[in-house]
Amino acid sequence: MDILKTMKCLSPNAVAKRKTMRLNRYAGTIFAVLLAVALAAPAYAAENLQLVEQQIKAGLLYNFLKYTQWPAERERAGAPIKVCLFGGDPFDSHLQPMAGRTVNEHRIEIAVARSVAEITDCSLLFIPADQKANWPELQKALEGKSVLTVGDFQDFALSGGMIEFTRTANRIGVVINTEPMAAANLQVEDRLLKLASNVRAAPGRQ
């Protein structure tokens, strides 16, 4: 009864004011939900972008193997091609489906190298961005060895690396330095060079 009496005593303006307050609370709740969705969208998009980037780079690594020729002693019949990921697997296992496949009649092996001592028998060494500080030591250890080096950080090719991944406006690119390739007795097909946005040629190569 007290509630009914109170409602009867409310003026039309008071009733309208209460309705407005309820609508404002409702609108605030809806806004909070929409804001949460909006904030989550970029994170979801970034996650998808990273997944696509990993897949593109994995495909490019396969092409690097396909269009590179190692010296005869490294390409003996039946010998596997060993892809080493230094410091861990930045591809979040997206590279694993390549393991066991063949390229140019050689079986592909995927391994994680966690020390310099583990890289000498690699055919291809991938150095992710978080291992950039170790590149000078790795480079020194690979002198005179026929190991294709691929780096995922800026100026890798400029610092003596062979193949560098780049990203411009969410597009994956490749920079190739053929000078260290020639020094390592690695021969690359023109189809590999055509994948690159920039090629730093070895002396005597056009």
What is residue 46's predicted lDDT score, i.e. its pLDDT?
Answer: 45
Lowest-confidence region among 39-43, 51-55, 166-170, 186-190: 39-43
Condensed to tens digits (0 to 9), the pLDDT of residues 128-141 reads 999 999 999 999 99
Instruction: Determine, yes or no, domain membership for 11.
Output: no
Count of domains forming the chain: 1
Instruction: Determine, yes or no, domain membership for 156.
Output: yes
Domain that holds residue 188: 49-200
Instruction: Determine, yes or no, domain membership for 101.
Output: yes
DSSP code at position 7? H
Residues of the chain by 3-state class (helix, strand, coil), percent to 5: 45, 20, 35
What is residue 107's predicted lDDT score, i.e. its pLDDT?
Answer: 94
Pairing mode of beta strands 198-200, 187-188: unpaired
AA letter at 61: L
What is residue 182's predicted lDDT score, i.e. its pLDDT?
Answer: 94
Percent of the chain with pLDDT over 70: 71
Residues in the chain: 206
Lowest-confidence region among 53-62, 68-77, 139-148, 151-160: 68-77
Task: Tell me the three state secondary structure of residue 167.
Answer: strand
Task: Tell me the three state secondary structure of residue 95.
Answer: coil
Instruction: Determine, yes or no, domain membership for 69.
Output: yes
Instruction: Determine, yes or no, domain membership for 193.
Output: yes
Instruction: Determine, yes or no, domain membership for 115.
Output: yes
Mean pLDDT of the chain, nearest integer: 79
Q: Nearest CA to 183 among 166, 161, 152, 198?
A: 161
Residues 28, 51: Cα–Cα separation, whole Å: 35
AA letter at 177: N
CA distances from 67 to 90, 104, 138 (A): 23, 9, 23
Place of tokens 């080096």: 149
Residues 46, 131: Cα–Cα separation, whole Å: 22
202 pLDDT above the threshold of 60? no
78 pLDDT above the threshold of 90? no
What is residue 177's predicted lDDT score, i.e. its pLDDT?
Answer: 94
88 pLDDT above the threshold of 80? yes
What is residue 52's predicted lDDT score, i.e. its pLDDT?
Answer: 81
Query: 108-118 as b/e, with b when 16 or more CB fall inside 10 Å?
Result: bebeebeeeee
CATH (domain of 167) = 3.40.50
Instruction: Determine, yes or no, domain membership for 102.
Output: yes
Q: How far is CA 169 from the centre of its chain?
A: 14
Condensed to tens digits (0 to 9), the pLDDT of residues 12-69 reads 454 445 544 444 444 444 334 333 433 333 433 444 556 688 888 999 999 999 999 9
